Amino acid sequence: MAERSFAREVEDLKLGDGDIFRGEGILAITKALLQSGVSYVGGYQGSPISHLMDVLADAKDVMQDLGVHFETSASEAAAAAMLSASVMYPIRGAVTWKSSAGTNVASDALSNLSSGGVTGGALIIIGEDYGEGSSIMQERSHAFAMKSQMWLLTPRPNLPSIVEAVEMGFELSEASNTPVMLQVGIRSCHVHGQFEAKDNKKPAYTLKQALENPISDVNRIVLPPASFVHEKEKLEKRWPAAVEFIKSRKINEYFGPETGDVGIILQGGLYNSVMRSLQQLGLADVYGNSRIPLYVMNVSYPMIDDEVADFCIGKKAVLMVEEGAPEYIEHTLNTLLRRRDIQTAVSGKGVLPLGGEYTTPVLTKGLKTFVETYDRLLLGNQPPIPDPTHVLQDPKIKALAEVVPPRPAGFCTGCPERPIFAAMKLVEKELGKHHVSADIGCHLFSILPPFNIGGTTMGYGLGPASASAFNVEADKRSIAVMGDGGFWHNGLATSVGNAVFNKQDGVILVVDNYYSAATGGQDIMSSRAINPRRKTNNSIVNAVKGIGATWVRQIDRTYDVAKMRDTLREALTTKETGPKIIVASSECSLNKQRRVKPEFAKAVKDGKRMVKERFGVDEDVCTGDHACIRLSGCPSLSVKHTDDPLRDDPVAAIDNTCVGCGNCGEVSEAAVLCPSFYRADIIHNPTGWDKFAARMRAAVIGWLQRRRQSKRVLFAG
Partner 1 sequence: MVRFDAQLSTDKPISIAILAMGGQGGGVLADWVVALAESQGWMAQSTSVPGVAQRTGATIYYVEVMRAREGAEPILSLMPTPGDVDLVIAAELMEAGRSVLRGLVTPDKTTLIASTHRSFAIVEKERPGDGIGNPTVVIDATDFAAKRTIAFDMEAIAVKSGTVVSSSLFGALAGSDVLPFTKEMFEATIRAGGKGIESSVKAFSAAYDRAKAKSNDKVSALPTKRFDALPEKAGHPKLDRLVSRIRSEFPEEAHALLFAGAKKVTDFQDTDYAEDYLDRMLRLLALDRKVGGEERGFTFTVQAAKYLANAMAYDDVIRVADLKVRESRFERVRKEVGAKADQIVYMTEYMHPRMEEICGTMPKAMGLFIENRPKLFARLDKMVNKGRRVQTGTVFWFLGLYMVSALRGRRRGTLRHAREMQHLDAWLKQATDLASTNYPLAVEILNCRRLVKGYSDTHSRGLSKFDRVMSALPLLAAREDGGDWMKRLRQAALLDEDGVALDGALKTIATL
Q: Which residues within the stretch 267-296 sit at the binding site for partner 1 (CB under 8 A)?
A: 271-273, 275-276, 280, 282, 284-289, 291
Pair 195, 12: CB distance under 8 Å: no
Q: How far apart are CA 605 and CA 164, in angstroms?
A: 49
Nearer to partner 1, 190 or 249 (CB): 190
When asked if residue 606 is in the footprint of partner 1 (CB under 8 A), the reply is no
When asked if residue 310 is in the footprint of partner 1 (CB under 8 A), the reply is no
Provide the mask over 513-542, with x wherever binding to partner 1 is found by CB under 8 A and - wherever it is not.
-----x------------------------
Residue from 7, 313, 493, 621 that binds partner 1 (CB under 8 A)?
621
If you ran DSSP here, which 8-state letter would residue 350 be given? T
Pair 460, 101: CB distance under 8 Å: yes
Nearer to partner 1, 355 or 408 (CB): 408
Residue from 56, 243, 442, 583 that binds partner 1 (CB under 8 A)?
442
| Helix orientation angle between 305-312 and 328-339, rounded to the nearest 10 degrees | 70
Of 564-593, binders to partner 1 (CB under 8 A) are: none
In single-letter form, the type of residue at position 572 comes to L
Pair 434, 572: CB distance under 8 Å: yes
Nearer to partner 1, 433 or 533 (CB): 433
Nearer to partner 1, 361 or 455 (CB): 361
| Helix orientation angle between 663-670 and 418-431, rounded to the nearest 10 degrees | 10
Q: How far apart are CA 611 and CA 682, in angstroms?
A: 5
When asked if residue 680 is in the footprint of partner 1 (CB under 8 A), the reply is yes
Pair 513, 483: CB distance under 8 Å: yes
Nearer to partner 1, 235 or 683 (CB): 683
Of 646-675, binders to partner 1 (CB under 8 A) are: 646, 648-650, 656-657, 664-666, 668-675
When asked if residue 14 is in the footprint of partner 1 (CB under 8 A), the reply is no
When asked if residue 133 is in the footprint of partner 1 (CB under 8 A), the reply is yes
CB atoms inside a 10 Å sphere around CB 578: 18
Q: How far apart are CA 320 and CA 280, in angstroms?
A: 19
Nearer to partner 1, 131 or 455 (CB): 131
DSSP track, 363-393: HHHHHHHHHHHH-GGGG-SPPPPP--HHHHT
When asked if residue 446 is in the footprint of partner 1 (CB under 8 A), the reply is no
If you ran DSSP here, which 8-state letter would residue 284 be given? B
Nearer to partner 1, 122 or 308 (CB): 308
Which range in 252-260, 309-317, 347-355, 508-516 contacts partner 1 by CB under 8 A? 252-260
Provide the mask over 364-403, with x wherever binding to partner 1 is found by CB under 8 A and - wherever it is not.
----------------------xxxx-xx-x-xx-xxxxx
Tell me the CA distances in angstroms from 62 to 15, 54, 202, 617, one per residue in order: 11, 14, 11, 51
When asked if residue 171 is in the footprint of partner 1 (CB under 8 A), the reply is no
Q: State in Å, rounded, how far the first CA of the chain is from the last one.
A: 52
When asked if residue 2 is in the footprint of partner 1 (CB under 8 A), the reply is no
Nearer to partner 1, 218 or 715 (CB): 715
Nearer to partner 1, 26 or 34 (CB): 26
Nearer to partner 1, 474 or 701 (CB): 701
Provide the minimum distance between the beta carbon of 328 and partner 1 in the complex, in angstroms, as a whole number.
Answer: 23
If you ran DSSP here, which 8-state letter would residue 447 be given? G
DSSP track, 454-470: -SEE-STT-TTGGGGGG
Considering only CA atoms, which of 110, 105, 107, 100 is closest in space to residue 140?
100
Nearer to partner 1, 75 or 158 (CB): 158
User: Using H for helix, E for strand and C for coil, what is the string for 430-445?
Assistant: HHCCCCEEECCCHHHH
Of 480-519, binders to partner 1 (CB under 8 A) are: 518
Of 40-69, binders to partner 1 (CB under 8 A) are: 47-48
Provide the minimum distance between the beta carbon of 655 and partner 1 in the complex, in angstroms, as a whole number.
Answer: 9
When asked if residue 635 is in the footprint of partner 1 (CB under 8 A), the reply is yes
Provide the minimum distance between the beta carbon of 399 and partner 1 in the complex, in angstroms, as a whole number.
Answer: 5
Contacts of 419 (CB under 8 A, 6+ apart): 558, 559, 560, 561, 564, 663, 666, 667
Q: How far apart are CA 366 and CA 279, in angstroms?
A: 14
Provide the minimum distance between the beta carbon of 529 and partner 1 in the complex, in angstroms, as a whole number.
Answer: 21
Phi, psi of 701 (to 5 degrees): -65, -45
Q: How far apart are CA 137 and CA 303, in angstroms?
A: 26
Contacts of 716 (CB under 8 A, 6+ apart): none
Provide the mask over 332-361, with x wherever binding to partner 1 is found by CB under 8 A and - wherever it is not.
---------------------------xxx
Pair 586, 593: CB distance under 8 Å: no
Residue from 195, 301, 421, 445 that binds partner 1 (CB under 8 A)?
445
Provide the minimum distance between the beta carbon of 1 and partner 1 in the complex, in angstroms, as a whole number.
Answer: 17
When asked if residue 644 is in the footprint of partner 1 (CB under 8 A), the reply is yes
When asked if residue 678 is in the footprint of partner 1 (CB under 8 A), the reply is yes
Contacts of 689 (CB under 8 A, 6+ apart): none
Residue from 37, 179, 256, 414 that binds partner 1 (CB under 8 A)?
256
Which range in 140-148, 335-343, 373-381, 677-685 contacts partner 1 by CB under 8 A? 677-685
Of 447-476, binders to partner 1 (CB under 8 A) are: 449-450
Nearer to partner 1, 220 or 443 (CB): 443
* Three-state DSSP class for residue 614: strand
Strand ranges across the sheet with 299-301? 69-72, 40-43, 93-99, 122-128, 180-185, 151-153, 299-301
Judged by CB under 8 A, how many residues of this single chain contact partner 1? Answer: 137
